[in-house]
Structure 1
Amino acid sequence: MFEIDWLSLALPFAYITVLVGSLYTFSTIYRKRKASQSANLEPWFPPHLQRNIYLTLLHMEPEPGQEKAPKVPDSVIRAALLRRAVEDIRRIIQIRTSKQALNTLLQRGSVGEDLNQRFTRAEKEIEEELRDVVTEANALAPGWGQTIFQSANEIAANTMLRLKLEEIESRAEADKEWWEKRRETIKKDFMRELDEESSTKGSVKGSDDDAVLVDSGTPASTPGGSKKKRGKK
């Protein structure tokens, strides 16, 4: 009967055990280090002020000396949640705009992996934020979660349009001054060209008049000279 030599197999088993343990330890340490680095990365977006305001209004605490916290009207809470959704729309637009450019830079090796981790974490955070807003909207008014972002998108679009109009109006006065100066410069250049053209035409006319006088004087002297010569003969 065949007998297994356990002593000869002990060394390979020990090697495999040490190798597996080392790989497990390395992967655990590596994951913890990556998680620590990811947690220490700078957020992609600044603190969500609108969300903090909404949560503060929703969980209002009583002031010192009061038993109950003041009741916040539902209209104020809804308005705060809507402003929170508007800020989420702005962040979604920024995420979509930056994603293609970031992928291009990553393919070229122009940016590091840290920036990609920050962006990926921002995408996950905004997805969780959208789900949270929908849940809060349905809790305040059944069915509102289906339309809150439509309303927020309209508000965000109107806000951007108003900012564009204000920017155009702020530049209108400066553009007007620039155009006035430009028009005066063009006018001066045009008048100078007219003066130069007039002076050039005047000099040319004077030269023509002198030439006419010279031509008219030549025939008069010639006949006189001929008569004198004939008289001498």
Structure 2
Amino acid sequence: MFDINWRGLLLPLAYMAVLVGTFMTFSTVYRKRKALQSANLAPWFGPHLQRNIYLSLLHMEPQEGSEKAPLVPDSVIRAALLRRAVEDINRIIQIRTAKAACSSLLQRGSVGDDLWQRFQRAEKEMEDELRDVVMEANGLLPGWGQIIFQSANEIAANKMLRDRLDEIEAQTEHEKEWWEKRRGAIRSEFMKELEEADNKSVSATSHDEPVLVDNNTPSTPGSPSTTASQQGKN
């Protein structure tokens, strides 16, 4: 059996203990600091109005002078939850669209870590939000959680299509007004050019008009016509 010199190992063990303790303390402080910084960052999205409306309808408090809270119909609560799911669909689309751009800008160094932390926190919040909506839908109607986002996606797509059609119609009216103004300007310019051409034509005609000579006008003596007539008589 080998004798272990514990006194000789005491210093290395103490060094390892201090090193491990320092590392754990630094890691704990660093995580707390990062969590505090992340909590102080501005949220990626604004307030979730549809979620607040749903929760307000679900947990309505009794009015003054009444012991019971007003009864909200289940259809209204389901409609509020569906509107909440539609807003979640819109936010998911925004996150998927912005993820590639944020990742590329972060790799290039064009944006800081704060923006990426905000995005990651928004992505985590959306995962919790979707899970919560599914649980609420199954609580209101068994099995509804499996199809609620499919219905919400159809509603969101229909709204986007209607907004696009409204934008096209507004653009059509704008272009129609622009074309009416442009056509009026073209017509005015054409009429002005036509009047100028008529004026030039009238001016040229007046300068090139031949002089008519009256044969009955008596010729003066010594004129070429009188001399020619006298020579003919002779």
On whether the aligned pair clears a TM of 0.5, the verdict is: yes
1:70 aligns with 2:70: yes
Structure 2 residue runs of 5 or longer lacking an equivalent are 206-234
Counterpart residue number, 2:108: 108
More helix per residue? 1
Q: Specify the code of the residue in structure 2 equivalent to 1:49.
A: L
Q: Cα distance 1:14–1:140, how it changes in 2: closer, same or farther (>3 A)? A: same
Residues 135-174 of structure 1 aligned to structure 2 (within 5 Å): 135-174=135-174
Structural RMSD (CA): 2.8
Q: Specify the code of the residue in structure 2 equivalent to 1:77.
A: I
Q: Specify the code of the residue in structure 2 equivalent to 1:160.
A: M
Once the two structures are superposed, residues 155-185 of structure 1 have per-residue CA deviations (whole angstroms, 9 ceiling, x without a partner) of: 1122222222223333333322211222234
* Aligned pairs, number: 210
Q: Specify the code of the residue in structure 2 equivalent to 1:62.
A: P
More displaced 10-residue stretch of structure 1: 64-73 or 195-204: 195-204
Q: Specify the code of the residue in structure 2 equivalent to 1:30.
A: Y
Report deviation, 1:191. 5.9
Counterpart residue number, 2:57: 57
Report deviation, 1:18. 1.3
More displaced 10-residue stretch of structure 1: 42-51 or 174-183: 174-183
Report deviation, 1:134. 1.4
Counterpart residue number, 1:32: 32
Counterpart residue number, 2:179: 179
Structure 1 residue runs of 5 or longer lacking an equivalent are 206-233
Q: Cα distance 1:183–1:58, how it changes in 2: closer, same or farther (>3 A)? A: same
Once the two structures are superposed, residues 51-107 of structure 1 have per-residue CA deviations (whole angstroms, 9 ceiling, x without a partner) of: 111111111111232111111111111111111111011111111111111111111
Q: Specify the code of the residue in structure 2 equivalent to 1:75.
A: S
Report deviation, 1:113. 0.9
Q: Specify the code of the residue in structure 2 equivalent to 1:7.
A: R
Q: Distance in 1 between matches of 2:37 and 2:133?
A: 29
Q: Cα distance 1:196–1:148, how it changes in 2: closer, same or farther (>3 A)? A: same
Counterpart residue number, 2:219: none
Counterpart residue number, 1:92: 92
Q: So what's the TM-score if we normalise by structure 1?
A: 0.78
- Percentage identity across paired residues of the two chains: 71
Counterpart residue number, 1:13: 13
Q: Distance in 2 between matches of 1:201 and 1:104?
A: 69
Q: Distance in 1 between matches of 2:192 and 2:109?
A: 58
More displaced 10-residue stretch of structure 1: 124-133 or 27-36: 124-133
Q: Distance in 1 between matches of 2:86 and 2:107?
A: 32
Q: Cα distance 1:2–1:134, how it changes in 2: closer, same or farther (>3 A)? A: closer
Q: Cα distance 1:185–1:66, how it changes in 2: closer, same or farther (>3 A)? A: same
Q: Distance in 1 between matches of 2:145 and 2:2?
A: 73
Report deviation, 1:188. 4.9
